[in-house]
Chains A and B, each alone.
Chain A
Amino acid sequence: MRRFALIAVPYLWLLLLFLIPFVIVLKISLSDVALARPPYMPQLDLSTGWEGLKAFFAELDFENFTFLTTDDLYWKAYLSSLKIAAISTLLTLAVGYPIAYGMARAAPEWRPTLLMLVILPFWTSFLIRVYSWMGILSTEGVLNTVLLKIGIISEPLMIMNTPTAVYIGIVYTYLPFMVLPIYSALEKMDESLIEAAEDLGCSKLAAFWLVTWPLSKNGIVAGSFLVFIPALGEFVIPSLLGGSGTLMIGKVLWEEFFNNRDWPVASAVAVILLLILIVPIVLFQRNEQKAREAEG
């Protein structure tokens, strides 16, 4: 009996507040927009019984999804989100790998402190970390002022409200997610393997490419997914740093819902985003499972 209650309480909570809301999104994505409260048709009215239920299902259609394919705003936004997420994942890897490498090769007594320094920004508000770049990148911002004073540039750089600002924002906020898995893979590595490779005639670079890089692959893959997946649906970064010049699907969904009040289309956008996300999520799960099996 107690076991039953233990399972039932979290189970029911998640069913009610996680699964059922999705079913509702799915249903509304098949409905039509209407000038009513709530603003969509048809409404399910159970009091009319079986006939009402049949009429309800007859009115559902894929019109919103057809609409998404005809208006190029949407598929452009999906493509641009995929592109921005992919490029910023590569950039995060390029910035994060040397940091993780430096940490894993630092003296052991330094490592806990370095680890804490990487985790500390993660605990500080995400919104504030994104916001901190607004003062740096804007036209009269710190970066432009400094560069103009030194004389490297004569015109202020226009970084704010461009995709570049979004890349910087994503790399900055998601860096710990990339550094930590790579660090834990590199830290476990036996350094004598490198010495062996060098003794056997490998150059430093060849030893890195042939030994270190493959051994840190699990960390790289895990870190890349941990950046790519949330970056794809990101809302805060494109809306604060990207301006109107950056198209991302999270922002489109938000505007469709709050500004246009088109709930059916917003729901359809959410359903497609979820379908796109299933691929990387399944790949990520598989990678994790393989890593666990390799260790166990």
Chain B
Amino acid sequence: MASRAFFMRQVVPILFGIACLLAVVVAIELLIRLGAINRFIVPYPSEIAGSFKRIIVEEDVPARFLLTTGEALAASLMLTVVGISLGALLHRMHLLRLATETWIAAVASAPLVLMYPLFLVIFGRSALTIIMMGFVSALPPVILKTLEGLSTTRVVLINVGRSFKLTPSQLYWKILFPSALPTIFVGVRLGMIFALINIVGVEFLINFGGLGQLVNELAERYDLPGTYAAICFVILVSVVFFIVTERIERWLRPGT
């Protein structure tokens, strides 16, 4: 009985998700073959699938994948540490929060990727520029969501802590932080998306290694199946990060 419940709860959604993905792929293949979608803009999914092996071997995808993943990981770690710290600081310092919250929200929607020439001047044409671009552009959602999570902690939980005479530090680490974790993780995930978009974008723009450069090169060669296959690897980086953050969240905040 328990194994059936586990199967229904854990396995069935995964299988259903894969089936939906396959259905979409088949539908696109059919639409292209029927002429509803231009095959010179969107190649056949079967061609994309066939080009995976080729680009892995010929374009050194594993090294590029690791480079992009490493840059995204570095940016994510930085934005998690700095973003959560700044969010906690704004939560503690009300005046600072009132003075800066709107600006931070405005920065979140600004196209910071356009500032890449400035970052090139500061950090040079290196992986550091790409990491810093990813980090800076992804920081606002982490700060704002940390602030939101801490501010929306239920008053009764804080009162429970106060009634047990918790010190301010205990109140933060035992109640505020765990209570805010789900919202903080929403911010971290959003930040990771922003970071990855910017990292791949800057790799593309400055032609400096990684999957972004590969997408650029394949597109310039008009190798459409290869370009789409490279984009699939970018999506894979995103999927890996989502799975990892989900596991970390469940480990840090069980019971939800």
A binds B: no
Instruction: Give chain A's interface residues, CB within 8 Å of chain B.
Output: none
Instruction: Give chain B's interface residues, CB within 8 Å of chain A.
Output: none
